[in-house]
Amino acid sequence: MIRQAVIMAGGLGSRLKGRTDTMPKGFIELGGEAIVRSSIRKLISAGIEEIIIGTGHCSEWYEKLADEMHILTCVRNNEYADTGSMGTLLRCAENVTGDFLLLESDLIYDSVGLFALINEQRSNVILASGATASGDEVYLEADSDANLVRHSKNRNDLSGIYGELVGISKLTKKTLDAMVAHCNAHLGDEPRMEYETAMSAVSAAAEPGDKIGILKLDDYAWREIDDETHLAMAAEKVFPEIVCREASRAVRREVLLNPGPATTTDSVKYSQVCADICPREHEFGDVMEWISHELSLMAGKPDAVETVLFGGSGTAADEVMVSSCIPDGSKTLIIDNGAYGTRLSKIASVYKLDTEVWKSSGYLPLDVPALKEKIAGGGFTHLVMVYHETTTGLLNPVPELCRFAREHGVTTIVDAVSSFAAIDIDMDRDGIDFMASTSNKNIQGMAGIGFVFCRKEALEKTASYPMRNFYLNLWDQYQYFKKTHQTRFTPPVQSMYSLRQAIIETKVETIAGRYARYSACWDVLVKAVDELGLTMLVPREAQSKLITAIIEPDTPAYSFDTLHDFARAHAFTIYPGKLSDANTFRIANIGDIRPEEMKAFTVLMKEYFRGIGL
Ligand code: PLP
Ligand code: MG
Ligand code: MG
């Protein structure tokens, strides 16, 4: 698994003087985006967790970018004016922990090159193209096994030309260390060494298995931008070509306005297309361990939370909590103000737990003072509640009630299936002991994984609880995973990879940023609802801004199915209501959706409702 990338960005860009006196080359824009930003975006989409940028000239530009994107780590080459790219790579080497991608900062390229390198069998391999006629080609000579022999800008230096160096490579840590050693050994005679030189030297000296291979994509669209001619070529020809090729691989867009599975990015979809692996391999265990660790960090402070993964949906995670965290002899209060609260109480009754159900309206806020009185005086050991009632869009006051419950010694169990990764949650701060969510809602992954977040001390207490079930037992799975980095039973392998990608993308957007985007979509929806004179079921201030239940107009001309089919024909999927005592339809705004798309949906919605005389 390739987790890191290094971008060498220390250079002066002296052949683009005028543009690069006070700015690094990577910040030259094409199509309204700095070329390095576009490269970073493609690396993130390819599943890179950390991007190390070797900076030098005008390093503050990169440092500012790193403040905005926590996936970036800047390493400054203070001697950038007197060293070549290898001098910059040398300084980044310490931060590299395993196999990685190495890129130049002044490139535009088709993202397919990253896919090809990552999926290439050889672990050291550099990307090459056919002839570009760019005027600054670095030619590559290869041996009969397509391994790098030497490179030169002068074709006459080589006994044959295999391809042109693109400036994107996949290397092992071992090869990097050998390149660093080579550079250090030649500092005196070659202080301005370029990284290609170190690669050629290392490949020539390497044992057969450690040679650096060349992967040639004949018709590959890319350009390095070193001078004005390159920039003109890039703007006129190469950049539009790249945009066109990448667009041809976009998956047909369907915007899901149902409350999960939510719309995913293409990169999350594509992350499932990867090499087969037996989930008992270490490499896969590391992926699951990373997922579990990163999810824990999203739910609380470092070391405060353990996240246990199960193959299953959100309901599976709910059932894990209810069946594994409430021992015999407990007395549990379950708050039920919607379909998911009802479901939790059904699960509790299947396990024959001693429960009392607090029934409340599906669309009015909970009576907090009355509930507090109940919690304080009812002799309860456990409180079970739903954070966000997806039935109606009602957001329950979990922090207030759970903190209160904890102060009264009550263990708190929360269904955060449709709130986690949108609403800011810190389990310690918010008084939550156990919390369930799933891979296909706000975290924006594929369906198939349920997870249970546990406050460590609360989890430890469950160690002695007799098992009431097998597959869904929390402590059994936790312990097994802790020891082996494996789930006890077959995990949904490809869904795990897509969850990993979804986590990377969530970290880039941040949970606060994601909620801001969701809220912006909600604002667009609510404006249209108001303009149409429709009514929302839940008072605005009690809404989650994640899903909206809208009361159906009282006219025989209205038909949910017709509205649904009309929206669906335009690639929007909407959802029926779920209350027995109010006729509603629901529009969710979670997932990879943008305000412009919600705007397009509201145009359709208006067309439909005006068509039936509203
Ligand atoms: N809890 C809540 C609050 C939900 O919104 C949902 C699904 O929408 C679930 C539980 C059940 O999740 P799943 O359908 O994945 O079992
Ligand atoms: Mg060049
Ligand atoms: Mg260059």
Q: For residue range 361-376, list pLDDT tens digits in order.
A: 999 999 999 999 999 9
Token readout for 241 is 């070509």
pLDDT band at residue 165 using 50, 70 and 90 as cut-offs: very high
Using DSSP's 3-state secondary structure scheme, residue 187 falls into: coil
> Nearest bound ligand to CA 387?
1
Q: For residue range 497-538, list pLDDT tens digits in order.
A: 999 999 999 999 999 999 999 999 999 999 999 999 999 999
**Interval between CA 211 and ligand 2 midpoint (Å):** 24
Region 317-323: mean pLDDT is 98
Backbone angles phi, psi at 140, to 5 degrees: -120, 135
User: Where do the domains of the chain lie?
Assistant: 4-248, 267-508, 511-611
Distance CA(481)–CA(198), nearest Å, equals 42
Residue among 442, 111, 107, 43 nearest 250 (CA)? 111
Region 252-266: mean pLDDT is 97
Report the percentage of the chain scoring pLDDT > 90.
Answer: 98
What pLDDT score was predicted for residue 195?
Answer: 97
CB distance 313 to ligand 1 below 6 Å: yes
Distance CA(194)–CA(448), nearest Å, equals 47
Please give the single-letter amino acid code of residue 613.
Answer: G
What pLDDT score was predicted for residue 86?
Answer: 97
Biggest CA–CA distance in the chain, Å, is: 90
Is residue 213 a contact partner of residue 126, using CB atoms and an 8 Å limit? yes
Q: Which of 15-24, 48-57, 322-331, 513-522 has the lowest mean pLDDT?
A: 15-24
Which of ligand 1's atoms lies nearest the C-alpha of 440?
15
Which of ligand 1's atoms lies nearest the C-alpha of 259?
8
Tell me which residue has tokens 């970036």. 72
DSSP state of 222: E
Using DSSP's 3-state secondary structure scheme, residue 534 falls into: coil
Token readout for 240 is 């539009």
Specify the DSSP element, H or E, that contains 9.
strand 4-9
CB distance 417 to ligand 1 below 6 Å: yes
**Interval between CA 314 and ligand 1 midpoint (Å):** 5
Q: E strands within 361-433?
A: 382-386, 388-389, 394-395, 411-415
Backbone angles phi, psi at 396, to 5 degrees: -85, 150
pLDDT band at residue 166 using 50, 70 and 90 as cut-offs: very high
Whether residue 582 is predicted with pLDDT greater than 90 in this model: the reply is: no
CB distance 260 to ligand 1 below 6 Å: yes
Is residue 172 a contact partner of residue 6, using CB atoms and an 8 Å limit? no
CA distances from 362 to 396, 430, 452, 574 (A): 11, 23, 25, 20
3-state secondary structure 102-144: EEECCEEECCHHHHHHHHCCCCCEEEEECCCCCCCCCEEEECC
Using DSSP's 3-state secondary structure scheme, residue 269 falls into: helix
Q: Are strands 33-34 and 29-30 parallel, antiparallel or unpaired?
A: antiparallel
Region 302-331: mean pLDDT is 98
Buried b (16+ CB within 10 A) or exposed e, 193-224: bbbbbbbbbbbeebeeebbbbbbbbeebbbbb
Q: Which fold has domain 267-508?
A: Aspartate Aminotransferase; domain 2 (3.40.640)
Whether residue 413 is predicted with pLDDT greater than 90 in this model: the reply is: yes
Could you tell me which residues come within 8 angstroms of residue 248 by beta carbon, excluding any fewer than 6 positions away? none
Neighbours of ion ligand 2 (CB under 5 A): 136, 224, 226
CATH 3.90.1150.10 fits 511-611, yes or no: yes
Strand pairing partners for 177? Answer: none
3-state secondary structure 548-592: EEEECCCCCCCCHHHHHHHHHHCCEECEECCCCCCCEEEEECCEC
What pLDDT score was predicted for residue 201?
Answer: 96
Residue among 605, 467, 426, 443 nearest 531 (CA)? 605
pLDDT band at residue 579 using 50, 70 and 90 as cut-offs: confident
Tell me which residue has tokens 């779920």. 578
Take atom 13 of ligand 1 and give the residue whose Cα is closest. 314
Sign, CA dihedral 139-140-144-146, equals: negative
What pLDDT score was predicted for residue 578?
Answer: 81
Token readout for 270 is 């594509």
Which of ligand 1's atoms lies nearest the C-alpha of 391?
5
pLDDT band at residue 488 using 50, 70 and 90 as cut-offs: very high
Distance CA(216)–CA(116), nearest Å, equals 10
End-to-end CA distance of the chain: 55
Could you tell me which residues come within 8 angstroms of residue 450 by beta carbon, excluding any fewer than 6 positions away? 309, 310, 311, 312, 313, 314, 315, 316, 317, 318, 320, 436, 437, 438, 439
Distance CA(42)–CA(103), nearest Å, equals 12
Backbone angles phi, psi at 33, to 5 degrees: -135, 140
Residue among 204, 220, 223, 224 nearest 212 (CA)? 204
CB distance 386 to ligand 1 below 6 Å: yes
Residue among 11, 1, 125, 103 nearest 51 (CA)? 103
Whether residue 554 is predicted with pLDDT greater than 80 in this model: the reply is: yes
Is residue 300 a contact partner of residue 455, using CB atoms and an 8 Å limit? yes
CATH 3.90.550.10 fits 4-248, yes or no: yes
What pLDDT score was predicted for residue 581?
Answer: 79
Which among 389, 417, 544 is the best mutation to test ligand 1's pocket, defined by most ligand atoms within 8 Å of the CB? 417
Using DSSP's 3-state secondary structure scheme, residue 214 falls into: strand
**Interval between CA 332 and ligand 1 midpoint (Å):** 21
Using DSSP's 3-state secondary structure scheme, residue 176 falls into: helix
Whether residue 580 is predicted with pLDDT greater than 80 in this model: the reply is: no
Region 289-306: mean pLDDT is 98
Q: CB-side exposure of 367: number of CA atoms within 13 Å?
A: 9
Mean confidence (pLDDT) of the chain: 97
What pLDDT score was predicted for residue 123?
Answer: 96
CB distance 315 to ligand 1 below 6 Å: yes
Q: What's this model's pTM, rounded to 2 decimal places?
A: 0.97
